[in-house]
Amino acid sequence: MNRSLSVVVFLIAIATLTCEGQRSPALPLSKNSFRQILRTKHAVPPGRVPRLSDIIIRHYSKNSTTPKSYRIRSISRILDDPDFDLRKPTVLYGHGYVELITDKNMVKIVKAYLQRDEQNLLILDWSNMAFGSYIAVVLGLKAIAAEVSKGVHALLLRGLSLEGLHLVGHSLGAHLMAYTARNLAAKGFQVPRLTGLDPAYPGFYPALLSDPMSSSDAGFVDAVHTDGGGFGAPDRTAHADFWPNEGRAKQPGCLSATVPLTTEDFCSHWRSVSFWAESVRGGEFLARRCYDYDAFLRGRCTDEPVVYMGARATHDLRGNFYLRTAASEPFALGERGAA
């Protein structure tokens, strides 16, 4: 048996193991299992072109069934939109590698913010630059961020509230938002809050391809880790780093055995998005600062106050914070998760 065939047989054997005790042995694959892998084979999504000028900001509001879209270089036009309220804070969300705004994660984020309707919601659709070789995409992040920061800077000059600006990014999008914040700081506009949802690991820790997001990138930087050491950052990268369920794979509810790089294998990495969306809707993810997850589970940090992970995290938080979550929605356990 040649090596390639041996690897396939091994993966199938591992994948058919019983998962989480209650599941029957089955191959954890679906019609979408290889979606992410297949997307890497395309230089650009259908209908898009791989140019900085084709980066799009999409504005979602309750008053429209579809988002209003603006090329990044004409983003100032959004201020003329009657549904864009300068009195509200503004969230700019950046997706990850080979993601589309129609993906389930993006739909979750949009629905959560629209349900609360407390902020202007802008989605950075940089999918035209996020497909193809991972290495090439990483090496292009800073050029993309330079373009995005020019657009945000134009909005700030025309009246967008800096105080209410919140940059949020998942995976590679976390580092992209960090670079955007750095560029804005260089122009005299320090972003008050930057959030990384399981910031991407490969190429950043250590900084072989590019430098990662850090606590110096914004007034307050927080990170939610769910696949640390896998697809997500293995170490602290923010003022406040949250490690639900130790912050590593496999997160509760994710299959314990998966075929590498399939959608099932990304379950833990994507769980950070689900946690964030639920927190935006009001889910109470309570955590405690602690030395490590083992000490947290042993109750050695119960003298520490409980704090919020997610949208309601406060800007004064510093350190590593731990909590437990449920295995399915709703994930938040309230005070039980911090016990």
One-character DSSP codes across 197-242: ES-B-TTTSS-SSSPPP-TTSSSEEEEE-SSBTTTB-SS--SSEEE
- Rounded to the nearest integer, the mean pLDDT of the chain is 92
Residue 204 has pLDDT above 60, yes or no: yes
Residue 6 has pLDDT above 70, yes or no: no
Residues 103 and 14 in one domain: no
Matching residue, tokens 């100032």? 76
Q: Give residue 127's pLDDT band: very low, low, confident or very high (50, 70, 90).
A: very high
Residues 173 and 320 in one domain: yes
Q: Are 66 and 75 in contact (CB under 8 A)?
A: no
3-state DSSP call for residue 125? strand
Instruction: List phi, psi (to 5°) of 193.
Output: -145, 135
3-state DSSP call for residue 3? helix
Q: What angle do CA 92, 95, 99 make, to 5 degrees?
A: 150
Which tens digits make up the pLDDT trace of 76-125? 999 999 999 999 999 999 999 999 999 999 999 999 999 999 999 999 99
Per the structure, the count of domains in the chain is: 2
Q: Give CA–CA dist 317/117, Å, rounded.
A: 26
The candidate with the shortest Cα–Cα distance to 210, out of 197, 196, 200, is: 200
Q: Give CA–CA dist 16/33, Å, rounded.
A: 15
Residue 15 has pLDDT above 60, yes or no: no
CATH (domain of 226)? 3.40.50.1820
Task: Tell me the mean pLDDT in the region 189-196.
Answer: 98
Residues 134 and 5 in one domain: no
Between these two residues, 65 and 25, which has the higher pLDDT value? Answer: 65
pLDDT of residue 236: 97
Residue 5 has pLDDT above 70, yes or no: no
Residues 11 and 76 in one domain: no
Host domain of residue 3: 1-30
Residues 22 and 157 in one domain: no
Task: Output the furthest CA–CA distance in the chain (Å, rounded).
Answer: 66
Residues 8 and 79 in one domain: no
Query: How many of the other CB atoms lie within 10 Å of CB of 25?
Result: 10
Residues 134 and 55 in one domain: yes
Alpha helices in the chain (DSSP H): 3-15, 35-39, 104-116, 134-139, 141-157, 172-186, 267-280, 293-297
Query: How many of the other CB atoms lie within 10 Å of CB of 305?
Result: 8
pLDDT of residue 27: 65
Model's pTM, two decimal places? 0.91
Q: Give CA–CA dist 40/46, Å, rounded.
A: 13
Residues 301 and 196 in one domain: yes
Q: Give residue 65's pLDDT band: very low, low, confident or very high (50, 70, 90).
A: confident
Q: Which residues contact residue 164 at a Cβ distance below 8 angstroms, ignoring those fewer than 6 apart?
A: 88, 89, 90, 119, 192
Residues 121 and 37 in one domain: yes
* From 8-12, 44-48, 218-222, 271-275, the region with the lowest mean pLDDT: 8-12
Q: What's the residue count for the chain? A: 339
Residues 49 and 23 in one domain: no
CA-CA-CA-CA torsion sign (308, 310, 312, 313):
positive
Q: Give CA–CA dist 17/176, Å, rounded.
A: 38
Which tens digits make up the pLDDT trace of 288-311? 999 999 999 999 999 999 999 999
Residues 133 and 263 in one domain: yes
